Amino acid sequence: MREKELIVYRDLSKEEGKLLSDMSFLMDHYDDEYYNLEDRSGLFYSCIHELLEMAGNHGFYGNLWHCFLAHLLVNNENSYSRACEVVGPVEGSINQAVLHDIIIVKEFFDYDFSGMCGLLGESAWGLIEHYQRSNEKSKVYNTRIQQRICDLAQQFRDNHTPEEMKDTLTQFYKDYGVGKFGLHKAFRIAHDENGVQILPITNIAHVHMDDLVGYEIQKQKLIENTEAFVNGKKANNCLLFGDAGTGKSSSIKAITNEYYEKGLRIIEIYKHQFQDLNDVIAQIKNRNYKFIIYMDDLSFEDFEIEYKYLKAVIEGGLEKKPANVLIYATSNRRHLIKETWKDRGDVEIENGMHKSDTMQEKLSLASRFGVTIYFGKPSPKEFQEIVITLAKRYQLDMEEKELLAEANKWELSHGGISGRTAQQFIDYLLGKE
């Protein structure tokens, strides 16, 4: 087999490259008596183990060998796949190079395992060709993505020529993208010996705007700004501020789920990572996606200076913020940075410093968010409406009068009136059923 002759698709992860190399060796030498039969058999079962582990981690089913090859192709970020995610089919000599690679991949895809299985273990390989998944969720992909990859493997099986297989793959890139940004919707930041890494978050809350009861004006402002962004129009950085438990973070999570199919991605970052913001933006600025950099519960004390990194990134630095990047933040503070009465007034007589300069320094960060949305705690009547709506949604069997009486008792000892308190109360009742 010719995996070493790959040109465009030769950069594989260490684990994936080893599995492909081991399978290639078996295809070439499974009946070669130069190698000990026990060693050949051991390698064969080791490969089966790796494919089964992949199925468990990724949620694959059907022909796991075909799913593995499809997985390699949809995750390989190269000049061709990144171009196709933007415009679909491209022109130029790169097509000949890609077709050269697809011919090799199709040789792997169409390989007849009957001889190998007859010698090394036919019953074991049957698990790989007709694998039935368990109910356990994928640790790598959400259900939608694992389904797409398994469907792609099936489409490849129906493609009779390398040209057809290449066309199918190109269409997949155009429809769904490539690599981690194409297949995942949410990410976090890590900094290791290799620098700043943007890592997928595979288990995120499936919150939708309709799940958040009330706050219609606030939600509409957020939707309008986000829709303008994903449609390539001018949009603003957005600050959601107000009382705790009112749905600020849930609204941003819902936005992520709502506009994922339109190319929206979200990257969560914490304030101790703000010094990595420029590196993060450098990795995403040329991709065909819209990125929200999300900062939850953002606030700064007097002694914290990380906000200076954020100010430079939003506005003020020499490099212009890319058009495909916005910053969304939530905070309990309107102005993000702690203010004191000492900041008020103008001249401090003791040392002659202008206090108004300190005020401007602190207020200038919040002013860089073009859209600010206030989430206030609900009134008692609004709190009751939230409780009633949630109870109906979860089909709780309780008289309304009793429900509201218990809800009022609950909020008195559990953080006061808020949407979060209402949800926690409903969860408590559901747990008792």
The CATH superfamily assigned to 200-375 is: P-loop containing nucleotide triphosphate hydrolases (3.40.50.300)
Does the structure show a pLDDT above 80 at 142? no
Mean pLDDT over residues 351-372, rounded?
A: 61
Type and span of the H or E element at 175? helix 162-176
242-273 pLDDT per residue, tens: 888 888 899 999 999 899 888 899 999 988 88
Sign of CA dihedral 50, 69, 42, 24: negative
Does the structure show a pLDDT above 80 at 145? yes
The answer for 403, left when phi > 0, alpha when psi is -120 to 50, beta otherwise, is alpha
Cα distance between residue 51 and residue 63, in whole Å: 10
Alpha carbons within 13 angstroms on the beta-carbon side of residue 158 total: 9
The whole model's pTM is what? 0.79
271-320 pLDDT per residue, tens: 888 888 889 998 998 888 999 999 888 776 665 666 666 766 766 555 56
Q: Are 245 and 418 in contact (CB under 8 A)?
A: yes
Structural domain boundaries in the chain: 3-183, 200-375, 380-432
SS3 category, 81: helix
Sort 31 into a burial class: Cβ within 10 Å, 0-12 / 13-18 / 19+.
middle
Average of per-residue pLDDT values in the chain: 85
Cα–Cα nearest to 129, from 55, 39, 73, 75: 55
Q: Are 245 and 420 in contact (CB under 8 A)?
A: yes
Strand duo 186-192 + 195-200: pairing = antiparallel
Q: Looking at residue 121, what is its pLDDT?
A: 74
CB atoms within 10 A of CB 135: 4
Q: How far is CA 107 from the centre of its chain?
A: 33
Give the lowest-confidence range in 143-147, 177-181, 194-198, 404-408.
Answer: 143-147
Q: Looking at residue 228, what is its pLDDT?
A: 95
49-83 pLDDT per residue, tens: 999 999 988 889 999 999 999 999 999 999 999 88
Q: Looking at residue 214, what is its pLDDT?
A: 85
